[in-house]
A and B are shown apart, each in its own frame.
Chain A
Amino acid sequence: MVQVTNVTKSFGDVVAVSDVSFDVGPGVTALLGPNGAGKSTLFRVLCGLTPPTKGAVRVLGRDARTDRMVRGRIGLAPQQETLFDRLTAHQFVSIAAASHGIPEQETVARSALDLVELSSDEEKPLGAYSKGMRQRVKLAAALVNDPSVLILDEPLTGLDPVQRTRMIELFNGLADEGKCILVSSHVLDEVARLGSRVLVIAQGRLAATGDYHALRDLMDDRPHRIRVGASDPRRLASVLIERGIADGVDVSAESVTLDTHDVDGFGRAVAPMARELDIHVTEVVPVDDDLESVFRYLVER
Chain B
Amino acid sequence: MTEHTVSPLGAMILTYRVLVRQLFSLGRGAALAALAAAVILVAWAVGASDSASPENDALRVVVDLGFGVMVPIVVLVFATAALGDMREEGTLVYLWLRPMKRWPVVVGACLAAFVISLPFTLLPVVLSALVSGGSSDLVYGAMIAGFVGVLAYTAVFVFLGLLVKNAVVWGLTYILVWETVAAGFGTFPARMAIRGYTRSILTGKVGIELELADVGLTAGIMVPLLIALGAIILGSWRLSRLDVA
Contacts and interface: CB of A to CB of B under 8 A. Distances in A.
A69 B7 CA distance: 12
A100 interface: yes
B14 interface: yes
A72 interface: yes
Given A49-B244, A80-B90, A80-B245, A73 B1 contact: yes
Given A50-B244, A95-B94, 4 more contacts: A44-B245, A49-B93, A68-B99, A68-B100
Interface stretch (B15-23, B138-146, B226-234): B15-23
Given A69-B99, A95-B14, A49 B91 contact: no
A64 B4 CA distance: 15
B216 interface: no
Interface in A48-83: 48-50, 64, 68-69, 71-74, 76, 78, 80, 82-83
Interface of A is mostly: loop
Given A68-B99, A84-B91, A102 B21 contact: no
Contacts of B21: 84, 86-87
Nearest to B15: A99
B94 A84 contact: yes
Given A49-B93, A72-B3, A44 B99 contact: no
A145 B245 CA distance: 21
Nearest to B241: A51
A148 B3 CA distance: 11
A78 B89 CA distance: 12
Contact of B4 (A44, A82, A87, A101): A101
Nearest to A141: B94
A139 to B, nearest CB: 13
Interface size class of A (residues with CB under 8 A): 20 to 34
B191 interface: no
B128 to A, nearest CB: 32
Interface of B: 1, 3-7, 10-11, 14, 17-18, 21-22, 89-91, 93-101, 243-245
B90 A99 contact: no
5 contacts: A44-B245, A69-B3, A82-B91, A95-B14, A99-B98
A72 B4 CA distance: 6
Contacts of A68: 5, 98-101
A47 B97 CA distance: 7
A99 B95 contact: yes
A254 B8 CA distance: 73
B14 A98 contact: yes
A44 B14 contact: no
A202 interface: no
Contact of A100 (B6, B18, B22, B91): B6
A148 B1 contact: yes
Contacts of B243: 49-50
Nearest to B95: A99
A74 B97 contact: yes
B94 A102 contact: no
B23 to A, nearest CB: 10
Nearest to A78: B93
A72 B99 contact: yes
A96 interface: yes
A95 B18 contact: yes
Nearest to A138: B94
Contacts of B99: 68-69, 71-72, 100-101
Nearest to B99: A72
Q: 10 closest A-B pairs (Cβ-Cβ)?
A: A72-B99, A101-B4, A80-B90, A49-B244, A101-B6, A99-B98, A50-B243, A82-B89, A82-B90, A68-B99
A84 B25 CA distance: 13
A95 B21 CA distance: 12
